Amino acid sequence: MTAPAPDRFDTLPRFATALKAIESLKPTEPLYLVFPDKFALAAQTFLKGFDGDVLYAAKSNPHPVALKNLWAAGIRHFDTASLGEIEAVKSVLPDAICHFMAPVRLAGQAKAAFEKYGVTDFVVDSDAELDKLLAETGKSKTVRVFVRLVASLGGALLEMSSKYGCRPEEAAKLLKRVRISGCQPCLTFHVGSQCLSPFSYAQAIEIAQQTVRLSGVEIMALDIGGGFPAAYSGEPPPPYHWFFDMIKTALDNFGAPGLKVMCEPGRALCAPGISLVAQVVLRRGDRLYMNDGIYGSFDEQRFASFDEDYPPTAIALDAKGKAKAMTGAKRPFRVFGPTCDSADKLPRPLMLPDSIGNGDYILFDAMGAYTVSSRSAFNGYYPDGWAVVG
């Protein structure tokens, strides 16, 4: 097997702890701390707990650091949603198996994925996309066409069914068309991101089962999507084995022994492995101006409905230059990002020690998902400092 391509992220400075990284680098720009052990643990949880192929949803973090850590931990399959993402994954991991799991593709992208990268898994949720896919891949028998069902079941903090998916009746018609085409009929859904309800997966599997009955078509694979929650602060999510047990029971009831199953976790695989060190640039009363904000690593905070709570730890350098977690009474602070846009503000106050001030640091854990992948260089700020811990 070909080794991952070397890049500058292979030679990052390495520290025993986050505190050591801070006291030695004294970063004035945002710093991502990579924890290989946490990536490995997340990957192993899914590879051991889920009885099927585990696809890493690359959009949650397609950075080479995330890809290589998950590859090292045994992840071989990748849910890629565009030709650009396939190229990004393949350039770092030449042996990665890519699956094109977006139901609406730009013209020509399925053809390029199929012919150039050997991709055979695609998603559709409409007749027009199925027409386009069949034309671009020549109705090859090797192609598996996953019809995407809506699954708005209410268990997730970020729903995804208002944009993609079709109802069982329409999905049944698409399945019949796929069978007639000679490609392999399959089903998929996405219960929504940061899904706290294991039961949502069981419900969606049940809907898939009804769809199969309606269509009279035997499916070749079922992809149960992503959505598995990451542990942010506040209420811990239900343990993963609840999800895996519930999914197994639902699949046993599906009545298709030997059916190939897949899942596509993004957030759950990459969130825990990266922490972020931000610096307080200026304190004014109860306002903190940080060197990172919603145009950088906190982009996902724009979605007001998404109430994840990053667990911040305030850290100060003492007179001898030692980094220490700050103790003492906490109070709420309004936290602003570095850009001149007044929208660059965290939607909710952060509880931090009353004594925090200019130059102190704030450590945010579980910052690997939808942070690095959606940061921008707006206003000249682009978080891109990296170090490894462990």
Given 227, 296, 312, 368, the residue binding ligand PLP (CB under 6 A): 227
Assess contact for 66 and 273: CB atoms under 8 A.
yes
Task: Work out how close the CB of 105 gets to ligand PLP at its nearest, in angstroms, rounded to a whole number.
Answer: 12
Q: Which helix (H) or strand (E) holds 83?
A: helix 83-92
Longest pairwise C-alpha distance within the chain: 74
Our finding on whether 266 is near ligand PLP (CB under 6 A) is: yes
- Residue owning tokens 């890493």: 56
Site for ligand PLP, residues 343 to 372, rule: CB under 6 A: none
Our finding on whether 225 is near ligand PLP (CB under 6 A) is: yes
Given 19, 22, 57, 362, the residue binding ligand PLP (CB under 6 A): 57
> Stretches 42-50, 222-230, 278-286, 334-342: which one binds ligand PLP (CB under 6 A)?
222-230
> Stretches 225-233, 272-280, 282-290, 348-356: which one binds ligand PLP (CB under 6 A)?
225-233
Assess contact for 129 and 167: CB atoms under 8 A.
no
Beta strands, E only, the chain: 14-15, 31-34, 53-57, 77-80, 97-100, 121-124, 144-149, 156-158, 184-189, 193-195, 221-223, 260-263, 274-284, 287-290, 312-317, 323-325, 330-336, 350-353, 361-364, 385-389
Taking the C-alpha atoms of residue 109 and residue 99, their distance in angstroms, rounded to an integer, is 12
> Stretches 2-10, 231-239, 263-271, 328-336: which one binds ligand PLP (CB under 6 A)?
263-271
Given 155, 165, 265, 293, the residue binding ligand PLP (CB under 6 A): 265
Site for ligand PLP, residues 64 to 103, rule: CB under 6 A: 79, 101
Q: For Cα atoms 66, 69, 75, give the angle at the middle one, nearest 5 degrees.
A: 100
- First and final CA of the chain: distance in angstroms? 26
Q: Which is nearer to ligand PLP, 23 or 223 (CB)?
A: 223
Our finding on whether 175 is near ligand PLP (CB under 6 A) is: no
- Residue owning tokens 């269509």: 215
> Stretches 132-140, 223-231, 343-351, 353-361: which one binds ligand PLP (CB under 6 A)?
223-231
Under the rule (CB under 6 A), what is the footprint of ligand PLP?
57, 59-60, 79, 101, 190, 193, 225-228, 264-268
